[in-house]
Structure 1
Amino acid sequence: MSDSDGKKTLGVRGGGPRSGNVKQSFSHGRTKNVVVETKRKRVVVPKPGAANKGSGTAGSASGDPRRQKAGTTDTEMARRLKALQAAKAREADEIAEREANEKARAEERERRRAEIEAKEREEREREERARQKAEEEERKRLEAEAEANRAKDGDSGSRAKADSAPARAGAATAPREDAPARRNDRGGDRGREQPQRPARGKGRGGDDNRRSGKLTLNQALSGAEGGRQKSVAAMRRKQERARQKAMGGSVEREKIVRDVQLPEAIVVSELANRMAERVGAVVKALMQMDMMVTQNQTIDADTAELIIEEFGHNVVRVSASDVEHVIQQIVDDEKDLQPRPPVITIMGHVDHGKTSLLDAIRSTKVVSGEAGGITQHIGAYQVQTDSGSILTFLDTPGHAAFTSMRSRGAQVTDIVVLVVAADDAVMPQTVEAINHAKAAKVPMIVAINKIDKPEANAQKVRTDLLQHEVVVEAMSGEVQDVEVSAVSGQGLDELLEAIALQAELLELKANPDRAAQGAVIEAQLDVGRGPVATVLVQTGTLKQGDIFVVGEQWGKVRAMENDKGERVKEAGPSVPVEVLGLNGTPEAGDVLNVVDTEAQAREIAEYRESASKEKRAAAGAATTLEQLMAKAKEDKNVAELPILVKADVQGSAEAIVQAMEKIGNDEVRVRVLHSGVGAITESDIGLAEASGAPVFGFNVRANTPARNSANQKGVEIRYYSVIYDLVDDVKAAASGLLGAEVRENFIGYAEIKEVFKVSGGVGKVAGCLVTEGIARRSAGVRLLRDNVVIHEGTLKTLKRFKDEVSEVQSGQECGMAFENYEDIRQGDVIEIFEREEIERTLA
């Protein structure tokens, strides 16, 4: 069956229709409400008179079973209706009883809450009275002490006033002690008591959360751990709001207008931070400008300027380079300057005895630690003379590969000591050292070394120096010259006196009481200590814990070691130290500056790094299409030897790269794919494998994963400790790329007397007479017609009579046939030659 509105109904047999709702249960706990229609069974009511008609018949009512059943059904329905009405009555009574109980419980809860609030209010009033009483007693005590002090001064009038003051104060404050109690007794002004009532959310238990409802597991755990406490600032803001509310309304906080530094591009979150505004508010303002951005996106300066003005701040436009303005070039006051030790650089040709001379001064054996007996790093040492003066020495390498290292040594030095061997005189690197010293505009002292050798000729050295505009005092010039011997120690005292005299004339001074500034002499990546830089402090004092920026790197001075390997806490002007705590390896020659915060150092380093990348990219892109095509055509004919270089220090890596760039000619060249500082790693092996390049390690070794990877991939690793050997090996390898030079040696000539045509696939055969030299079958031949080369190739056959021969002497006849060529005529001349290949090497 279905209802008129389409709902499904359940039919029940019965009389007239009765409807109702029944909840039908299904599996898995599902239920459904259905409409039930109960139909009553039809009851036949006899018409009047029917009883009379059938009284005497067998169909009387008493004897009709259907009528008896209908009567029974009506009685049953009446009983059910009566039971239903009784159940409804009971249900109504239960509902009324529950409502009465709930109302009683609510009244009880309200009464208890009122009692608790009253108790809490009384307790607060009691505490307030106790506090006021304590304050009053304290005030009375202070007034009594003040009165006693005045009484000691003999002021009787003041003493009388002091006697009456506490009484007046007590009279004034006495009514205030029980004022709250009196107000409560007479009902008081409830409007005045209202601020003392706790807030609705807190009042049921005060601040200790009493009667706050059921205790949950999270609340219990957070309570056990102490919970999240409010900060002091939040408590102060809450007190300030309560005070302002009590004074009659909130006072709007005055807006602080800030000067916002705006670069060419800025991140949204950084802009909000500089304005001290919420990031969400800034993002919302940008969205109102139809810019759907997040807090991590970058916006341009013009858009940021609109946002800053909208928030009511001032715009200060800055460029990206302004980050370096924090490195202030302080002009030192003359009265702050103090004398500093001179920085002396030892320069000269290789093997002229620079390090040995410094050894003799330091009384140490530095040269024994250098591979091959040559200096390959810039060493910085401090020496104290017999007179007590301190000298700082820089020992630079003399080999041609270290030109850039010597140039950096000249840039930070005060005095140059030019070492020239008396038995060798002026050499190419000596001339370079002179040029560096002149470019740096520093005074020079000539040390004529190896004067103890029999073949020493100091006068020749002085004469050779004249050619390079170095006039020593012995030749009526201004340059001091001292004859010394690093072996015997001769002239060392005179050399130190000359240095001290020159330093005194220079009047070298610096301000130690300022932020340090220095130059990186050398930098390396130490396995145990990380990036390490040898820094020569030029001005100020470098202290442990200083934050600094050096080139494209930055760091914090974690530790410092002097030239003796001792830990020091600070380094003053002209003091060389090894600095630990850098985030990367700087370039030798970079300037170190101390800044205030890590944020400044990081910002400056990032700016310098990005500027350097842009500069390199611009240098690579600054070529026209024609130049690129010409270079591509040129490179096509040039053979390249790719290599990877890893060195122990930055200066050595630079020197090796410069030496590699000089190897090659128009046909072959060396290309350094990558150069770096530190051990050879697995990534280096991967790059070498992809490029087919060998890896050269200079005073470094490959780690275990790198060695295993090199063995698997077949990458060659070579280790060197002397730069000469490395350069020679690379030069030899590059020479192997050169094509061998081919020379032709003419060994004979033959003239064709007759041409024969031979069957059997042989073709044309020339009957020849060897007119000069010798004819060989293995040699190359050219066919000349009227002295013009018309064919070049090889012989297919060389016969004398009917026999195949290897060679035919001059004046003899023979038969010749060319390979794949038959255009031969009588009178042609055959030129016979041999090719010889000669190996070539790079100069």
Structure 2
Amino acid sequence: MSDNDGKKTLGLRGGPRAGNVKQSFSHGRTKNVVVETKRKRVVVPKPGGAKPSTGGAAASGGDPSKRPAGISDAEMERRLKALKAAKAREVDEAAEREAEEKARAEERERRKAEIEAKEREEQEREDALRAKAEEDERKKREAEDAKKAADAAAAMPAPEAEAPRAAKPSSAPRKAPERDNKNDRNSKGKAARDDGRRSGKLTLNQALRGGEGGRQRSMAAMKRKQERARQKAMGGPVEREKVVRDVQVPETILVQELANRMAERVADVVKSLMNMGMMVTQNQPIDADTAELIVEEFGHKIVRVSDSDVEDVIQQVDDKDEELQARPPVITVMGHVDHGKTSLLDAIRNAKVVSGEAGGITQHIGAYQVKTDDDTLLTFLDTPGHAAFTSMRARGAQVTDIVVLVVAADDAVMPQTIEAINHAKAAGVPMIVAINKIDRPEADPDKVRTDLLQHEVIVEKMSGDVLDVEVSAINGTGLDTLLENIALQSELLDLKANPDRAASGAVIEAQLDVGRGPVATVLVQNGTLRQGDIFVVGEQWGKVRALINDKGDRVEEAGPSVPVEVLGLNGTPEAGDVLNVVDTEAQAREIAEYREKAAKDKRAAVGAATTLDQMMAKAKEDQAVSELPILVKADVQGSAEAIVQAMEKIGNDEVRVRVLHSGVGAITESDIGLAEASGAPVMGFNVRANATARNVANQKGVEIRYYSVIYDLVDDVKAAASGLLSAEVRENFIGYAEIKEVFKVTGVGKVAGCLVTEGIARRSAGVRLLRDDVVIHEGSLKTLKRFKDEVKEVQSGQECGMAFENYDDIRPGDVIEIFEREEVERQLD
């Protein structure tokens, strides 16, 4: 038995052992997993088995006989150390895993506690609000019951002892329904909480958070939702009173816009339309008749409007007499070119304006204010005088109160003088004739007065009612008299305006400034234009960013008859447009868009051929007429308009000038692109091309020409258009020959024996065959011979032989007319 005790039974040692591992997942979830672990075999030497020896065997305590072959004591010791380190690491890792698991469990418990605390806090707040609502409702019912009891007691007197008994039954049975209502409200409140409804005060975050899917809800919708929840908590929904609205409906309107104007849900409007058989979405338009049916179905009133009604916001104010105040007169200086209009105004203003104009001629409308010696304020408009600026003079006459007609005493009445007279008569404004240049030796003022009689302008000296003054812009003669007559005329007109209303005025000139953007020179006619005003002018709108007077100073406001430069437009308006101040930017933008659309439709209607005959006639005209295309860029709108009008007058039935594009501002790359596509030159008037445009023009071979005087531009275009004219063919008759005899020559045909009776017969010339002075053939000669020799020409009095090209019907007695053709270049008038 003792021997067997020392022996071990044969078996599997270090086999797999079962164990549990806890796995952690997100959101605090865990899972226990059964795993098997395998023991590692560890070789431990038996105690007392090691014999004393030197080296690593004694230190390790192992038995060298039982050690695996080839392993030294040092290797054995190294392996034992590695085993111990591995066991230590396993212990450390197990401790770390246990600590992490413990931390995660604590974090889950903390989060769970926080969520439960929030839910309890939310529940307590809702319970408090519900309790408060129940208390208010109970107090309200008690007050109503007490009031009813008092009213009943007052209506039917009873013994004092019976009153309490009568009152008791009314209060006793109220508790059970109250508990029922309370239970109902609790259940409703719970359902409301389940639906995500929140009670309490509405915050901006709640309003902006919106519903599901990121959809934002308006503040009004949140308030309506809160009101519905409160009504439910108070004992049931209460129907709101229907609000009847006046709905403005244009000719076409989007379904969504119609729903917004009715303050109804878009889904309800779409459903109503589908019930009517119209399958539409909220972004589709419907006509006014359909919209009227929808508006009436929802119980509202329809107000029909048209697109043009957007301009009704521009106030048409009828000024009262007590609101009117005196305003300075607006004087327009008109006359023929180089008659001294600007020099005369220059003398009045004591400034040098004419020196700043190219070529010494006025090419823009200038607006100035002058204060006389008696502190009378006058507003002067200086208009160009030459023929190209007819429209500018017309605009000056439309906004003026008095016209000063300047006529040079040494030149008398000229074409533009007559035109200015007609403008003044059409505008119905009084006229003052200023006979200028009386300091010159050849001046003849009486001739001027006599010439004016032919145009129904009778001055005072000729027993008429038109004031006339002899002036000299050089030495200042008669200027005081001219100003006195202007002041006298303005007093007779009794000019007044209301400065305390929305401003309105006329655009005298407009330009695109590189540094300041679109700039309009506006003459205020009514009201006061202030910085910050929102306005609409023609097809453009804007907000007054700055006002600059005629001296270049910034001003805060401009009253009636004051010319100012207005900055802040979104585009360059047309000269002659009317400026009106409106209330909001939305109104200004809407009016400008409507006007732009109307102008586009009008241009499209004018340019379109409506019938087949018109289309054929237009095509035939386009084929028959040669066109010279050009692009025009000018510094201001008035100059561009004048150049375009001058271009329209150039040409005849064969050639015409076509302005592809005209605009204000520098020549840009897009202008070069259009010119290249059309094969047209670019004409710049007081403007230049930018660097990019110059480079592109050089690459593509587009010609750019710069001008500062309009006459030079007109002359160059006229010369270029003349080059498109077909040359004029002129005939020069050089001789006559009479046929004496007709011969038949083999291989040639009939040959006429002729006598040259006048001039010379040439082989290269053209010929006509005359019989009884009637032309029966025109052609050329096939041969011209003298005797048997072919010659170039035959002199008068000599005989020769002639044969016609492709013509043999010649007889004795016929006359041959000999002529030459030459081409002459034509010029446009």
TM-score by length of 2: 0.73
Percent of aligned pairs sharing the same letter? 82
Asked whether the equivalents of residues 401 and 656 of structure 1 are also in contact (C-alpha less than 8 Å), the reply is yes
**Cα distance in 2 for residues equivalent to 1:303 and 1:122:** 53
Deviates more, 1:463-472 or 1:581-590: 463-472
Could you tell me which of 777, 781, 784 is aligned with 1:795? 781
- Report Cα offsets for 1:370-408 as digits up to 9, x if no partner: 111111111111122222222111111111111111111
**Cα distance in 2 for residues equivalent to 1:450 and 1:799:** 74
Task: Tell me the CA shift for residue 634 of structure 1.
Answer: 4.6
**Cα distance in 1 for residues equivalent to 2:607 and 2:218:** 56
- Report Cα offsets for 1:489-508 as digits up to 9, x if no partner: 22222222222222222221
**Cα distance in 1 for residues equivalent to 2:114 and 2:353:** 93
Deviates more, 1:527-536 or 1:781-790: 781-790
Pairing 1:724–2:724 present: no
Alignment match, 1:649: 636
Alignment match, 1:528: 515
Pairing 1:307–2:283 present: no
**Cα distance in 2 for residues equivalent to 1:675 and 1:115:** 76
Asked whether the equivalents of residues 121 and 196 of structure 1 are also in contact (C-alpha less than 8 Å), the reply is no
Alignment match, 2:547: 560
Pairing 1:469–2:441 present: no
Asked whether the equivalents of residues 286 and 292 of structure 1 are also in contact (C-alpha less than 8 Å), the reply is yes
Task: Tell me the CA shift for residue 754 of structure 1.
Answer: 4.4
Alignment match, 2:701: 714
Deviates more, 1:732-741 or 1:341-350: 732-741
Pairing 1:834–2:827 present: no
Q: Aligned letter for 1:806?
A: K
Task: Tell me the CA shift for residue 756 of structure 1.
Answer: 4.7
- Report Cα offsets for 1:635-664 as digits up to 9, x if no partner: 543333333222222211221222222222
SS in 2 for 1:533: strand
Could you tell me which of 306, 317, 322 is aligned with 2:304? 317
Alignment match, 1:400: 387
Pairing 1:582–2:569 present: yes
Task: Tell me the CA shift for residue 233 of structure 1.
Answer: 5.4
Task: Tell me the CA shift for residue 261 of structure 1.
Answer: 0.9
**Cα distance in 1 for residues equivalent to 2:360 and 2:599:** 37
**Cα distance in 2 for residues equivalent to 1:116 and 1:778:** 118
**Cα distance in 2 for residues equivalent to 1:126 and 1:275:** 39
Task: Tell me the CA shift for residue 792 of structure 1.
Answer: 2.4
Task: Tell me the CA shift for residue 536 of structure 1.
Answer: 0.7
Q: Aligned letter for 1:344?
A: I
**Cα distance in 2 for residues equivalent to 1:556 and 1:324:** 18
SS in 1 for 2:564: strand
Deviates more, 1:614-623 or 1:190-199: 190-199
Cα 1:802–1:113 shift into 2, 3 Å: closer
Task: Tell me the CA shift for residue 195 of structure 1.
Answer: 6.6
Pairing 1:610–2:620 present: no
The aligned runs of 1:190-229 (5 Å cut-off) are 199=190
- Report Cα offsets for 1:115-156 as digits up to 9, x if no partner: 9877887899999999xxxxxxxxxxxxxxxxxxxxxxxxxx
Task: Tell me the CA shift for residue 576 of structure 1.
Answer: 1.0
Pairing 1:289–2:276 present: yes
Structure 2, gaps ≥5 residues long: 1-110, 133-177, 200-208
**Cα distance in 2 for residues equivalent to 1:111 and 1:656:** 85
SS in 1 for 2:476: coil
Could you tell me which of 755, 759, 763 is aligned with 1:777? 763
SS in 2 for 1:834: strand
Number of residue-to-residue matches in the alignment: 661
Alignment match, 2:205: none
**Cα distance in 2 for residues equivalent to 1:477 and 1:505:** 17
Could you tell me which of 502, 518, 526 is aligned with 1:515? 502
Alignment match, 1:685: 672
Alignment match, 1:811: 797
Cα 1:822–1:420 shift into 2, 3 Å: same
Cα 1:310–1:769 shift into 2, 3 Å: same
Deviates more, 1:251-260 or 1:199-208: 199-208
Alignment match, 1:161: none
Task: Tell me the CA shift for residue 207 of structure 1.
Answer: 8.6
SS in 2 for 1:734: helix
Pairing 1:417–2:404 present: yes
Asked whether the equivalents of residues 547 and 567 of structure 2 are also in contact (C-alpha less than 8 Å), the reply is yes
**Cα distance in 2 for residues equivalent to 1:261 and 1:456:** 69
Asked whether the equivalents of residues 656 and 721 of structure 2 are also in contact (C-alpha less than 8 Å), the reply is yes
Asked whether the equivalents of residues 638 and 669 of structure 1 are also in contact (C-alpha less than 8 Å), the reply is yes
Q: Aligned letter for 1:417?
A: V
Task: Tell me the CA shift for residue 258 of structure 1.
Answer: 0.9
**Cα distance in 2 for residues equivalent to 1:265 and 1:239:** 36
Cα 1:205–1:399 shift into 2, 3 Å: closer
SS in 1 for 2:418: helix
The aligned runs of 1:591-606 (5 Å cut-off) are 591-606=578-593
Task: Tell me the CA shift for residue 436 of structure 1.
Answer: 1.3
Pairing 1:370–2:370 present: no
Cα 1:304–1:795 shift into 2, 3 Å: same
Asked whether the equivalents of residues 554 and 582 of structure 1 are also in contact (C-alpha less than 8 Å), the reply is yes
Cα 1:242–1:804 shift into 2, 3 Å: closer
- Report Cα offsets for 1:151-189 as digits up to 9, x if no partner: xxxxxxxxxxxxxxxxxxxxxxxxxxxxxxxxxxxxx97
Task: Tell me the CA shift for residue 296 of structure 1.
Answer: 2.7
- Report Cα offsets for 1:691-729 as digits up to 9, x if no partner: 333322222223334333333443332222111112222
Task: Tell me the CA shift for residue 800 of structure 1.
Answer: 2.5
Deviates more, 1:110-119 or 1:713-722: 110-119
Deviates more, 1:331-340 or 1:767-776: 767-776
- Report Cα offsets for 1:78-135 as digits up to 9, x if no partner: xxxxxxxxxxxxxxxxxxxxxxxxxxxxxxx9999999877887899999999xxxxx
Task: Tell me the CA shift for residue 609 of structure 1.
Answer: 2.4
Q: Aligned letter for 2:754?
A: C
**Cα distance in 1 for residues equivalent to 2:126 and 2:778:** 124
Cα 1:750–1:288 shift into 2, 3 Å: same
**Cα distance in 1 for residues equivalent to 2:240 and 2:813:** 118
Asked whether the equivalents of residues 609 and 615 of structure 2 are also in contact (C-alpha less than 8 Å), the reply is no
Deviates more, 1:501-510 or 1:791-800: 791-800
Deviates more, 1:292-301 or 1:364-373: 292-301
Asked whether the equivalents of residues 499 and 526 of structure 2 are also in contact (C-alpha less than 8 Å), the reply is yes
Alignment match, 1:148: none
Cα 1:633–1:194 shift into 2, 3 Å: closer
**Cα distance in 2 for residues equivalent to 1:643 and 1:477:** 49
Pairing 1:660–2:638 present: no
Cα 1:716–1:129 shift into 2, 3 Å: closer
Cα 1:621–1:526 shift into 2, 3 Å: same
Could you tell me which of 489, 501, 506 is aligned with 1:502? 489
Cα 1:634–1:112 shift into 2, 3 Å: closer
Alignment match, 1:343: 330
**Cα distance in 2 for residues equivalent to 1:731 and 1:117:** 91
**Cα distance in 2 for residues equivalent to 1:205 and 1:410:** 73
SS in 1 for 2:770: strand
Structure 1, gaps ≥5 residues long: 1-108, 131-187, 209-221
Task: Tell me the CA shift for residue 340 of structure 1.
Answer: 1.3
The aligned runs of 1:21-100 (5 Å cut-off) are none
**Cα distance in 2 for residues equivalent to 1:243 and 1:436:** 75
Q: Aligned letter for 2:385?
A: G
Cα 1:232–1:543 shift into 2, 3 Å: same
**Cα distance in 2 for residues equivalent to 1:406 and 1:415:** 13
Aligned CA-pair RMSD: 3.5
**Cα distance in 2 for residues equivalent to 1:592 and 1:707:** 36
Cα 1:127–1:301 shift into 2, 3 Å: closer
